[in-house]
Structure 1
């Protein structure tokens, strides 16, 4: 403890640069152990002093300060400690760093903000502070979408999980789907962003979360967003269809290139299929997918798929699309009351399916398009 008191007096912007640099490096090294992280999380005075060095003119001091903060924020207790600081607002400071086009450690700032917003309770606090500032979520999305925004080479990829984390919150989803903000429209191109799987995964995850807002389904599936073809496109491959079949598909799914590749990450494919399932909760969503003949893409994807979770989701989705509404018997599937015993039976059946052998999976057979 005495050593920490000694360190604290050197963690001042006015301290001689070499002494300050050594002190900041020592604090950063403490974050290499769980004991060190726990100790720092209990010292708001040291955390406050470290935040005061994130813009130090000595680049290595500033970098060590950011390293310390990203390691402390990686633990939920550390995030809570940073958000509880009285003399400085960690959220505001990180947003300033991200917003500054010439700040060289902006990627660290994005990582810290992503860590802070990961636990749901902390995420709510971060979002509320963000919402009170001038940047807001819309501003972060705007910065994220400017691929070369930072002039010092920071990529800002870790803004993507921040957006995903905020989409956990009802207020976050509401802002994302605000009709005047164009946030969703700006994010859509990143669903096919090949340069960064992290960006692609996080934005698909955020849009996946938005699909749970049932009251926004018709807007998401309407001409403003047209989300269904965008969710289906990553599942499509270089499949060959007849002229009639191609013409029955949405324009973005017609005559795909011979080198078209399906999304290689099964976690992303799972998110896409889950989002489509959510859009099938209500009758208009199911009818739209039938009218767009989405079954064609799903059938070929089923033949190619190897991940059992994705196969199961694909089959559940196809089952909803190919059945008539009379067979389904209810417009809104979320209104169906499933007993706890039956829910447990379904869960057990799913676990048994996921643990099984791929050889027992049957190919989806052709069905008539006239299934409405």
Structure 2
């Protein structure tokens, strides 16, 4: 306890610069062990002082202060302690750092926000603190979409998972899909962003989460967003189609170049397929995908795919698109109750296939989707 009190004195704003810098480095080193992290998390006064140093005029002190906050926020105990600080809002301070185009450690600030919002119960607190700071989601998306926003070299890629974390919340999704806000549409181009796998994956995860709100499916599939071709594009390769087949596809999927590559990460492909699956929950969604002939992209993707979970998802979507609505028998599949014995049978079959067994759809039929 005496050691922590001494550390507090050296971290004080009016302490000598060299002592303050050394003390901040010591605090950063403490975060390198579970015991050190737990110790700092149990001393909110130290965390509050460290928070005040993130914009210190001494750059090494500010950087070490940020390192402390990144490491502490990565642990559940530490994240809870930071969000409970009295006298200052860690979220407000991090947002100030992200918004400042001349702050050199904005990437650390994005990391703190991403860590704090990772768990859903903490994410809601972060959201409330952000709202209390009069910062809206569209402001963060505006910053994310400006590749050279930070003039000190910060890339701000970790701002993308912050937005993904907010998509866990109904209020977050509501702001993202505000039809007058044009937030959702600004995220879509980053689905094909090659400079950062993390940014691309986070944006796709955000869009994936939004697809679980069936109330907005009509908007997502309509002209304002036209999401289905955007989800299918990363799954497409240098496929060869007839002139009639190409003409049946949406413009973004027609006559793709010979060097077109499919999304290389199976986790990303799974999210894309799951999003398409959610859009097939309603009759309107299924008919839209049929009218856009998304089946053609799925058919060629199936020939290429090697990940068993992706293959299974692909086949489930195709199964719905090939069947007629009379065969499906329900406009909204989310309300259909599957008998317990059938549910268990399906789960067992899926588990057997994922473990290496055979699939009932080892090859997809070369036929047109139902009309």
Shorter-chain TM-score above 0.5:
yes
* 1:66-85 superposed matches below 5 A: 66-85=66-85
* 1:116-135 superposed matches below 5 A: 116-135=116-135
Residue pair 1:144, 1:160 contacting (<8 A) in 2 also = yes
Partner of 1:283: 283
Cα-to-partner distance string for 1:315-356 (whole Å, 9 max, x where unaligned) = 000000000001001110011012344323222221111001
Residue pair 1:164, 1:206 contacting (<8 A) in 2 also = yes
Runs of 4+ in 1 over 4 A off after TM superposition: 357-361
CA distance in 2, matches of 1:340, 1:60: 60
Cα-to-partner distance string for 1:194-237 (whole Å, 9 max, x where unaligned) = 10111110001001111011110000000000000000000000
Residue pair 2:101, 2:151 contacting (<8 A) in 1 also = yes
Partner of 2:202: 202
CA distance in 1, matches of 2:20, 2:72: 20
CA distance in 2, matches of 1:368, 1:299: 10
CA distance in 2, matches of 1:9, 1:368: 74
SS of residue matched to 1:239: coil
Partner of 1:320: 320
* 1:93-112 superposed matches below 5 A: 93-112=93-112
Residue pair 1:37, 1:78 contacting (<8 A) in 2 also = yes
CA distance in 1, matches of 2:355, 2:69: 41
Residue pair 1:289, 1:321 contacting (<8 A) in 2 also = yes
CA distance in 2, matches of 1:178, 1:133: 20
Partner of 1:229: 229
CA distance in 1, matches of 2:325, 2:331: 8
* 1:275-354 superposed matches below 5 A: 275-354=275-354
SS of residue matched to 1:103: coil
* 1:172-211 superposed matches below 5 A: 172-211=172-211
Residue pair 1:127, 1:166 contacting (<8 A) in 2 also = yes
Residue pair 1:12, 1:53 contacting (<8 A) in 2 also = no
SS of residue matched to 1:147: coil
The farther-off stretch of 337-346 and 181-190 is: 337-346
CA distance in 2, matches of 1:67, 1:302: 45
Partner of 2:61: 61
CA distance in 1, matches of 2:144, 2:358: 40
Partner of 1:167: 167
SS of residue matched to 2:331: coil
Residue pair 2:232, 2:272 contacting (<8 A) in 1 also = yes
Deviation, 1:70, is 0.3
The farther-off stretch of 350-359 and 16-25 is: 350-359
CA distance in 1, matches of 2:288, 2:53: 55
Residue pair 2:277, 2:317 contacting (<8 A) in 1 also = yes
SS of residue matched to 2:168: coil
Structure 1: stretches of 5+ with no match in the other structure? none
CA-atom RMSD in angstroms: 1.2
Deviation, 1:361, is 6.5
Cα-to-partner distance string for 1:60-92 (whole Å, 9 max, x where unaligned) = 110000000000000111111000001110000
SS of residue matched to 1:128: helix
CA distance in 2, matches of 1:200, 1:240: 27
Residue pair 1:97, 1:109 contacting (<8 A) in 2 also = yes
TM-score, normalised to structure 1, is 0.98
Cα-to-partner distance string for 1:268-317 (whole Å, 9 max, x where unaligned) = 00000000000000001000111111111100000000000100000000
Task: Provide the aligned length of Structure 1 versus Structure 2.
Answer: 371
CA distance in 2, matches of 1:74, 1:346: 38
Partner of 1:92: 92
Partner of 1:249: 249
Cα-to-partner distance string for 1:17-72 (whole Å, 9 max, x where unaligned) = 11111100001111011111111111000000100110111111100000000000
